[in-house]
Chains A and B, each alone.
Chain A
Amino acid sequence: MQSVVWVDEVDLAQAVALAGSKMGRLTELHRAGVEVPQGFAVTVDAYRRHCTESGLDARIEEVISWLGSEPSDAAVEDASTRIRTLFEDTPMSDALAGEITEAYEELCLRAVDVNVPTAVRSSATGEDAADASFAGIFDTYLGVSGPQRVIDAVRACWGSLFTGRALAYRLRKGISHHAMPIAVGVIELIHARASGVAFSVHPVTGKPDRIVIETSWGWGEAIVQGLVNPDHVEVGKADGRLLKYDVAHKSVVSAFDFADGRVTEIDMPAKLADRKVLDDEQIAAIAAAVTAIEEHYGYPVDVEWVISRHRRAGDPVCIVQSRPVTVTAPVAAPAAYDPVALAQKFVFSGKPIPGR
């Protein structure tokens, strides 16, 4: 059983089972020709073995058994804290630690860097639906460098499988805590000039005829966590024409803190706050990547992308994450001008006409 698999080497058919859905999709994107960062995953099996061999499973079961069938929120939070402490206190086997150290050094070699900073990301298993409801609740650590820090970050990610929210969800759904093991991705941290998210349909209206991009300076954490009001860009899918570029006042930025050795949120420098983030060439490159990914999967997607400091015009942008888009109200593209349908929709619907 493999403890470590590489994004660009793992068998595609096995990728999600071994590396979790987030890392598995990176492999799939890589095979489809999309630019993705270098990296490896600490596999689901590695996690399982860690839990079994160290005796963690039994101790976790014990904590959970105290909870009963309908625990209070406070009891769940308390159990979560206890279990996460167990993860922190339980060392990794020397064999696994050795494999991760070896893989990390290989990553440094590939990046031609010493102590290359990485993103350590939880990569859960399970269906996309569960994936969607867990979106963003498992831990991610940006800017982790050096083998020991990477190993600690992996253990912290494992522990995040037992956040209060995740625990409560599994209890509610009657899912066994062993049924949803987790993999952890360790990928090269792209030194971001700008990053953001992009949707192959409008995420609010569901309009499928456009690509919507939200972007800010630096890393994407501040955008994903909703800490910054990003620039909003819309591009026509059929002809790639820029439809709209709303420049936002961006007050916070996710930046690399070299003293602290991690990516953290700081006040946006005044000179960058109101500046337009993307130029036309960059927008076209993002749109091209999103369109290709949607075509590859055959369903609407949202992606997280990064433009590296080293990127030159004409290079592809780097995709660090992709998943099926969750749209509240999917709509068909407008087919034709239909005065009768429009009258029914806007005049005789009992609702005010939009814009009035």
Chain B
Amino acid sequence: MATVVPVEPYTGEWYPGFQPEFITSPYIIDGTGPFRKEDEDKFWFLDFHWSRGMTPLAAFAWGQDGYCWGTQHAAESLPLPPGRGITSRFAGTHLYGSAIPETDPREIGARANRLGTNLPRFLENYQSTWEAGRDELEATWGYFHGLDLTAVPTGDLAGLLGQARRYHQRSMEIHFGVMYPLLVNFLGFYGACAEMGINTADIGKFLQGEDTKIMETDRGLAELAKKAKAAGLRQVFEDNSGNAIRTALSAKGGSASQWLTDFDDFLQVYGHRQEATCDVGVPSWIEDNTIPLDMIKSFVLKDEDHDFEAAARNAMAEREAAVETARSGLTKEEQAVFDAGLRSNLEANFPWWQDDHNYYIDLKVMIPLRRVCQELADRVGAEDRNDMLYLFWPELQKVATGSTYDGGLKSLVKDRRQYFDHWGALRGQMPKVLGTVPETVEDPVLIEIFGLNPSAIRAVQNPNAAEETVLEGVAAAKGTARGIARVLQSSDDMHRLEPGSILVCESTSPSWTPAFGKIAGAACDGGGMLSHAAIVGREYGVPTVTAIGIATVAIKDGDEIEVDGTNGRVTILKRAADLAGA
């Protein structure tokens, strides 16, 4: 028996006049929540990662623990001299982000000094730092994966929810702790290259061609497609879509059953993946086979197998040629700077990490929380396993600690589902920015990940954005393509893409990859030259323009458009309305 020394004698009043909120001082500078009037003084941008909108639990978990905690923690530990990370607000179910500036010159100076010590140290130790973080997260992931939730006593579920939340929070500390310094190094190198007169469209190429976990997954899917064709299953894929493919294969039996076994083995390795960044509201590939089966289907239906090795070789050859071209225009002194910068950026390769970390963090980090929520829903007799995703954290805690999930909460969840659907339908009309719009931003994540360069910031303020017919953006993948625009809200709509059409969306994530085997071009609101669309566009030779700001506003579904990925321009040639009338 442990000895207990009671604290009770000291739990009464403290100093006269003390109130608990006097010492409320969270580590994070600013947490999430709905918009308030005073938020109008700041600059808010609509975050393309969550185009579906977010459920209450997703909004809280990501908005608070991911966005706010992760970025603000990392902005302190690096630190960013003039910035203290990012905060978030919700307009309905839609997430807006905003950088938190540091304006005190003395504080900025002190932070700059710390950056001077910490950034070189990080770059020297990048490999071991990232690997240690990754291994820590993989170990925690392994712990959750090894749990048989159905065997866990109900009384332990509240604790597990807390652990799952902390796992996500810790993931985001590591995520942004690596992302910020990598980006700062990359953007400094980018600026140096631009100043030395290097064609900035080539800078992404210097760092391309390294294999990532996401590419490994794509190869696995293509391999399964080959096996399906070899087993004579092409027709099944041609006749069905999504989960119906699985049903049809099961019914067929024989070689189809064997194929399904291979598919399930594949999923055990690569299927712990949601098609959304840190969104507890979205199922994993294992939970719902639609996305991987449709991806395999698109590989099966292609007449020629995508040659991943040739693509990798081309990427490497293109990289070497780009480096050679850049170096030839530099003086000896500049070459020394360029070579050292390139070496530093190849060793701590931001574009590579940007793809690879999605496998280890973004695409699976919410699965433990989601699974515990679903288990809890089963235990408390919810009609839908996903009901808990419509609760806020204290409500969820209450249900988990024995409060009944009854009429009151149930009807709230019903109303919230309607609210979610209502706002989801409004996504296309959400303003791209809110509040007070600046000319330029300093947070590295805003610059590179969101493509908030001065031209994009100007574009989103254009009151006539919907009528614009010539749009400027970042030249992300070279070449020119014409076709009919398909304006998609999320990868859920990917089935609407026809061969030769042009994808128009807020931004792409790894799940859009198969689309690039089909489309003629791509135009995105957000993203820079290293965004997923840019990387995949280059790999598949699909002309792509990113960071347009208003692509999904100006371009209407069915418009005939031209994407000039060499010069970063999209032109609307004929409006859908006129095409229909013709």
Binding site for B on A (CB under 8 A): 207, 209-210, 236-239, 241, 243-244, 333-337, 339-356
A346 to B196, CA, bound (A): 13
A346 touching B334, Cβ below 8 Å: no
Q: State which residues 159-194 of B face A: CB under 8 Å.
A: 184-185, 187-194
List, in ascending order, chain A residues with CB within 8 A of B119's CB.
339-340, 343
Give the distance to chain B from A85, nearest Cβ to Cβ, in Å.
51
Asked if B499 is at the interface (CB within 8 A of a chain A CB), the reply is: no
Contact among A207, A243, A336 for B336, CB-based, below 8 A: A336
B: interface residue count bin: 35 or more
**Which one of B306-314, B440-448, B506-514 is at the A interface?**
B440-448
Whether a CB of chain A sits under 8 angstroms from the CB of B200 is yes
A207: which B residues are within 8 A, CB to CB? 331
By DSSP majority rule, is chain B's interface helix, strand, loop, or mixed? helix
CA of A343 to CA of B439 in the docked complex: distance in angstroms? 19
10 nearest interchain CB pairs? A346-B191, A342-B188, A337-B340, A355-B194, A355-B200, A354-B194, A236-B331, A209-B331, A238-B332, A356-B453
8 contacts between A and B (CB under 8 A): A238-B333, A340-B119, A345-B188, A345-B191, A355-B190, A355-B200, A356-B200, A356-B447
- Chain B hits for A243, CB < 8 A: 328-331
Residue B81 at the chain A interface, CB threshold 8 Å: yes
Contact A339–B331 (Cβ < 8 Å): no
Whether A339 and B191, one on each chain, are in contact in the complex, defined by CB atoms closer than 8 angstroms, is no
Task: Return the chain B residue nearest A353 by Cβ.
Answer: B191
B447 near A337 with CB under 8 A, answer no
Structural contact, A346 and B340, CB atoms closer than 8 A = no
18 A-B pairs besides A343-B188, A350-B442, A356-B474 with CB distance below 8 A are: A207-B331, A243-B330, A244-B197, A334-B192, A334-B336, A334-B337, A339-B120, A339-B123, A340-B115, A342-B341, A346-B192, A347-B187, A348-B81, A348-B83, A348-B442, A353-B447, A355-B194, A356-B453
Provide the B289-333 mask, 1 if CB < 8 A to any CB of A, else 0.
000000000000000000000000000000000000000111111
Check B341 against A352 for contact (C-beta < 8 Å). Answer: no
Q: Which residues of B contact A238 (CB under 8 A)?
A: 331-333
Closest residue of chain A to B185, judged by CB?
A339
Is B434's CB within 8 Å of the partner chain A? no
Once the chains bind, are B188 and A347 in contact (CB under 8 Å)? yes
Residues of A within 8 A of B192 (CB): 334, 337, 342, 346
Does residue B82 face the partner (Cβ distance < 8 Å to A)? yes
- A80 to B266 alpha-carbon distance, docked (Å): 91
Shortest C-beta distance, A125 to chain B (Å), equals: 37
When chains A and B are docked, how far (Å) is the Cα of A201 from the Cα of B440? 32
A347 close to B115 (CB less than 8 A): no
Contacts of B187 in A (CB 8 A): 343, 346-347, 353
Check A343/B184 contact, CB under 8 A, given A336-B340, A337-B340, A353-B191: yes
Residues of chain A lying within 8 A (CB to CB) of residue B344:
337, 339
Query: B402 an interface residue at 8 Å Cβ cutoff?
Result: no
* A205 to B260 Cα, complex, angstroms: 64
Q: Given the complex, which residues of A lie within 8 Å of B435, measured CB to CB?
A: none
What's the Cα separation between A303 and B326 when bound, in Å?
29
Within the complex, what minimum Cβ distance (angstroms) separates B164 from chain A?
Answer: 35
A352 to B442, CA, bound (A): 8
> What residues of chain B lie closer than 8 Å to A236, measured between beta carbons?
330-332
Shortest A66–chain B CB gap in Å is: 53
Output the least CB separation between B257 and chain A (Å).
53
Q: Which of B331, B341, B439, B447 interacts with A237 by CB under 8 Å?
A: B331
Please measure, in the bound complex, the distance between the C-alpha atom of A241 and the C-alpha atom of B331, giving whole angstroms: 8
Q: Does B195 contact A (CB under 8 A)?
A: yes
- Cα A226 to Cα B401 in complex, Å, equals 82
Q: Does B253 contact A (CB under 8 A)?
A: no
Residues of chain B from 70 to 90 with CB closer than 8 A to chain A in the complex: 80-83
| Contact across chains for B191 and A340 when beta carbons are under 8 A apart | no
Complex interface bits, B343-381 against A, C-beta within 8 A gives 1, otherwise 0: 010000000000000000000000000000000000000
Chain A residues whose C-beta falls within 8 Å of the C-beta of B338 in the assembled complex: 337
> How far in angstroms is the closest Cβ of chain B from A261?
44
* B333 A334 Cβ-Cβ under 8 A: yes
Residues of A within 8 A of B83 (CB): 348
- Assembled-state Cα–Cα distance A200/B443 (Å): 38
B22 CB → nearest A CB, Å: 35
The answer on a CB contact under 8 Å between B331 and A210 is: yes
Tell me the residues in window 191-243 of chain B with beta carbons closer than 8 Å to chain A beta carbons.
Answer: 191-197, 200
The distance in angstroms between the C-alpha atoms of A344 and B120, with both chains bound, is 13
Do A348 and B80 touch (CB < 8 A)?
yes
Query: In whole Å, how far is B446's beta carbon from the nearest beta carbon of chain A?
Result: 11
> Please, which residues of chain A bring their CB within 8 A of the CB of B123?
339
Q: Considering only CB atoms, which chain A residue lies closest to B339 in the complex?
A: A337
Cβ of B185 and Cβ of A346 under 8 Å apart? no
A237 to B453 alpha-carbon distance, docked (Å): 35
B444 surroundings in chain A (CB, below 8 A):
347
**Does chain A have a CB within 8 A of B34?**
no
In angstroms, Cα B191 to Cα A341, docked, is: 11
In angstroms, Cα B444 to Cα A346, docked, is 10
Would A337 and B337 count as touching, CB distance under 8 A? yes
A217 to B14, CA, bound (A): 90
Closest residue on chain A to residue B451 by CB atoms: A356
Kindly list chain A residues whose C-beta atoms are within 8 Å of the C-beta of B453: 352-353, 356
Tell whether, in the assembled complex, residue A339 and residue B188 are in contact, meaning their CB atoms are under 8 Å apart: yes
Report the Cα distance A349→B119, complex, angstroms.
17
For B183, the closest partner residue in chain A by CB is: A347
Q: Write the chain A residue with the least CB distance to B193.
A: A355
B125 → chain A, closest Cβ, in Å? 14
**B191 CB contacts on chain A under 8 angstroms:** 342, 345-347, 353-355
**Closest residue on chain B to residue A207 by CB atoms:** B331
Instruction: Tell me, in angstroms, the Cα distance from A340 to B81 when the chains sit together.
Output: 11
Query: In the assembly, what is the distance between CA of A341 and CA of B340, in Å?
Result: 14
Q: Determine if A352 and B454 form an interchain contact, defined as CB atoms under 8 angstroms apart.
A: yes
With most chain A CB atoms within 10 A of its CB, the pick from B188, B190, B193, B337 is B188
Min distance, Cβ B474 to any Cβ of chain A, angstroms: 8
- Which chain B residue has the least Cβ–Cβ distance from A243? B329
**Which parts of B459-476 form the interface with A (CB within 8 Å)?**
474
B194, B336, B439: the one contacting A353 at CB < 8 Å is: B194
Residues in B neighbouring A335, C-beta threshold 8 A? 337
CB distance from B344 to the nearest CB of A (A): 6
Contact at A334–B188, with CB atoms within 8 Å? no
Give A241 to B329 CA distance when docked, in angstroms.
9
Query: Given A340-B120, A348-B80, A350-B440, A244 and B200 touching (CB < 8 A)?
Result: no
A355 to B326, CA, bound (A): 15
Question: Are B330 and A343 in contact, CB atoms less than 8 angstroms apart?
Answer: no
Whole-angstrom CA separation of A17 from B19 in the bound complex: 86
CB-CB < 8 A to B197: which residues of A? 244
Q: How far is the CA of A352 from the CA of B187 in the complex (A)?
A: 11
Does A344 contact B81, Cβ atoms closer than 8 Å? Answer: yes
B197 to chain A, nearest CB (A): 8
B340, closest chain A residue (CB):
A337
Question: Are B454 and A336 in touch, CB under 8 angstroms?
Answer: no
Determine the residue in chain A with the shortest Cβ distance to B195: A354
Q: How far is the CB of B163 from chain A (nearest CB, A)?
A: 36
Residues of A with C-beta under 8 A to B189:
337, 339, 342
Separation in Å of the A212 CB from the closest CB of chain B? Answer: 11
In the complex the two chains form, is B333's CB within 8 Å of A346's CB? no
Nearest-CB distance from A348 to chain B (Å)?
5
Q: Is B576 an interface residue (CB 8 A)?
A: no
Shortest C-beta distance, B301 to chain A (Å), equals 39
Interchain nearest-CB distance for B376 vs A (Å)? 44
**Are B440 and A351 in contact, CB atoms less than 8 angstroms apart?**
yes
B112 interface residue (CB < 8 Å to A): yes
Q: How far is the CB of B112 from chain A (nearest CB, A)?
A: 6
Cβ A356 vs Cβ B454 within 8 A: yes
**Cα distance, A236 to B330, chains bound together (Å):** 8
Distance to closest chain B CB from A79 (angstroms): 48
In angstroms, Cα B196 to Cα A336, docked, is: 13
How distant is the Cα of A237 from the Cα of B344 in the complex, in angstroms? 26
Question: Which chain B residue has the least Cβ–Cβ distance from A344?
Answer: B112
B 414-444 binary contact with A (CB < 8 Å = 1; else 0): 0000000000000000000000000110101
- Residue in chain A with minimal CB distance to B196: A334
